[in-house]
Amino acid sequence: MKPHRGLLAAWLLALAASSTATLSLPVAFRQMIDHGFAGGGAAIDRVFLLLFGVAVALALATAARFYFVSLLGERVVADLRRKLYAHLLELDAGFYDRTRSGELVSRLTADAELLRSVVGSSMSVALRSTVTVVGSLVMLFVTSPRLASYALIGIPLAVLPIVAGGRRLSKISRASQDRIADANAIASETLGAVRTVQAHAREPYERGRFESAIRVAIATARKRITVQALVTAVAIVLIFGAITLVLWSGAHDVVAGRMSGGTLAQFVLYALIGGGSVGALAEVWNELQRAAGGMSRIGELLAETPQVRAPAQPQRLPKPLRGGIAFERVTFHYPQRPDLPALEDFSLRVRPGETVALVGPSGAGKSTVFSLLLRFHDPQAGSIAIDGHDLRTLDLTALREAIALVPQQPTIFAASARENIRYGRLDADEAAIHHAVRAAHAADFIDALPQGLDTELGERGARLSGGQQQRIAIARALLKDAPILLLDEATSALDAHSERAVQQALETLMEGRTTLVIAHRLATVLKADRIVVMDRGRIVAEGTHEALMAQGGLYAELARLQFLDAAAPA
Ligand code: ADP
């Protein structure tokens, strides 16, 4: 709440005003009963005016209090969500390998929502009720010390079960929020792949999975609600039991003439206000425990530190960058697979401007080479350098600015074609975008879209064919204009026309850049300066297509399976 001191102060002021007004109401009430009726018409007017004045003051102060504290709640939650989101964006690939994105969205929404209820209302109720409880206690003693001492017995009795229930509640609430996150994770995964679900006619299966997640969430929530309900019931019985006792004794006092009717009325009002506030405190305590449960997971997420981090004083990459790449005896295994090295003693030097094709069976480690060069992970042994600069000495943004990636399955955002291409360089002007579109051989199909470059492409590019998505990704990479290009060729065959357009676009893109390409096409390996054959994380052969074919071995076999069967007559 620190950044919002102004709001906090305004709220506290309004709170003080409204509490004062609340606590003066019973006094005005006693005045009315004891003197209002006796003093004739003028006195009645005065007393009722006073009563109404207090009520108006109470109304204004309450409105102000509500306004300030609700706004404070929104601001605090917005801050938290901003902070958590920014933090999540920085976390490394290893974290995302073990976390479901749907769960994170749940933390950003459902858990943050709990905090809103704490700051926006519970905190307000807590402070207000505390003030009211203390205030009415003091006023109870002022009104009648004897009766007040009875009330003192009730309060500690009421607090005990509340505190006892609170501890359980915090634990249950954490579990409850976790179950909600589970359900959200399932929903977001399924909806993200809704075509696969429908193609398999697995709607009933997915519905069942979601329903059982919801059922578990409800069962957990029910435990929480039960505890909360019990605590509330016990607290109310204890508090109002004490009040009834006091009233009973007070009634005898009035009948015996030891106390005025007005004083008893004032006492009862204070007791009701104070008792109600103790009840409110019980509920707030529950809420706080609940939020503490939800916050503990957010706290854990905020405490996650990215494993891949730039040094405090990163080296500068020279401009212009030449784009030489050097892997020196790199050994790397994924955090989840400590037994299986994805790359082992892997050394590869790529000269600036050279095109190197990576070929190998699936699982050979080709994509891992890309991930390491982008520094999504750090190798356990060996080093990787660009133009002689070890990646670990560089600023992450500068490093990734130097590399353009065209993945096998390009990511198309739910935005216009223009925005999708501009993702490569956010400050690109219209001319640069048009140039990239033409160079990527994307002009013909983009012009044919209903609103041209302004056409919304739909989530994951739902409205584009595979070849068109690839050309959008190529235009994006062209716009980025990075000296190093990582290209993962699509395995799926495109139609002949698309294939040619994509091929030409890629050639334009590769021109003058250092290119590492995971090759699936004969045309690509034939054009590469060098082919590197990988198997089980190691380089097993290197050379040109002809030389490698002459050698026989793994390459000749792969080439027969992957490249040549398409070219060979059926
Ligand atoms: P290729 O691109 O040549 O098909 P990869 O580089 O994707 O191969 O994978 C190399 C090895 O690393 C494989 O055994 C694969 O199972 C494993 N692997 C890839 N990605 C991960 C990951 N995120 N977590 C754990 N293991 C992985």
Nearest Cα residue to 555 out of 364, 368, 367: 364
Rounded to two decimals, the pTM is 0.75
* Tokens 């006091």, located at residue: 246
Q: What residue type is assigned to position 127 of the chain? A: L
Rounded Cα gap, residues 74 and 80, in angstroms: 10
Domains and CATH numbers, the chain: 2-303 (1.20.1560.10), 323-402+516-570 (3.40.50.300)
Q: Is 342 in the pocket of ligand 1 (CB under 6 A)?
A: yes
Candidate from 367, 535, 539 with most ligand 1 atoms within 8 A of CB, to mutate: 367
Measured by CA distance, the residue closest to atom 14 of ligand 1 is 363
DSSP state for residue 32 in the 8-state scheme: I
Question: Which residues are CB-neighbours of 445 under 8 A, at least 6 positions away?
Answer: 468, 471
3-state class percentages of the chain: helix first, strand second, coil last, to nearest 5: 70, 10, 20
Q: Which two tokens stand for residue 462?
A: 């739902």
Task: State the maximum Cα–Cα separation within the chain, in Å, rounded to a whole number.
Answer: 120
Rounded Cα gap, residues 370 and 366, in angstroms: 7
Candidate from 334, 405, 491 with most ligand 1 atoms within 8 A of CB, to mutate: 334
User: Using omega within 30 degrees of 0 as the cis cutoff, is the peptide bond preceding 407 cis?
Assistant: no
End-to-end CA distance of the chain: 72
pLDDT by position in tens, the chain (length 570): 788 999 889 988 998 888 888 888 888 777 777 776 666 777 778 777 888 888 898 899 999 988 998 888 889 889 989 999 999 998 988 888 888 888 888 888 888 888 887 777 787 788 888 888 888 888 888 888 888 887 777 667 666 777 777 777 778 888 888 888 888 888 888 988 888 899 989 999 999 999 998 998 889 889 888 887 887 788 778 777 777 887 888 888 888 888 888 888 888 888 888 878 877 887 787 778 778 777 888 888 899 888 888 888 888 888 788 889 999 999 999 988 888 899 999 999 999 999 999 998 888 999 999 999 999 999 999 999 999 999 999 998 889 999 999 888 888 888 888 999 999 899 989 999 998 888 888 888 888 888 888 888 877 766 788 888 888 888 998 898 889 999 888 766 566 777 777 778 788 888 888 999 998 888 788 888 999 999 999 999 998 888 888 888 888 888 888 776 554 443
Q: What are phi and psi of 124, to 5 degrees?
A: -65, -50
User: What's the angle, vertex CA 194, arms to CA 189 and CA 195, rounded to 5?
Assistant: 135
**How remote is the CA of residue 520 from the centroid of ligand 1, in Å?**
17
Candidate from 98, 348, 358, 368 with most ligand 1 atoms within 8 A of CB, to mutate: 368
* Helical spans, DSSP H, in 256-326: 261-303
Q: What are phi and psi of 412, to 5 degrees?
A: -110, 125
* Helical spans, DSSP H, in 528-567: 545-551, 553-559, 565-567
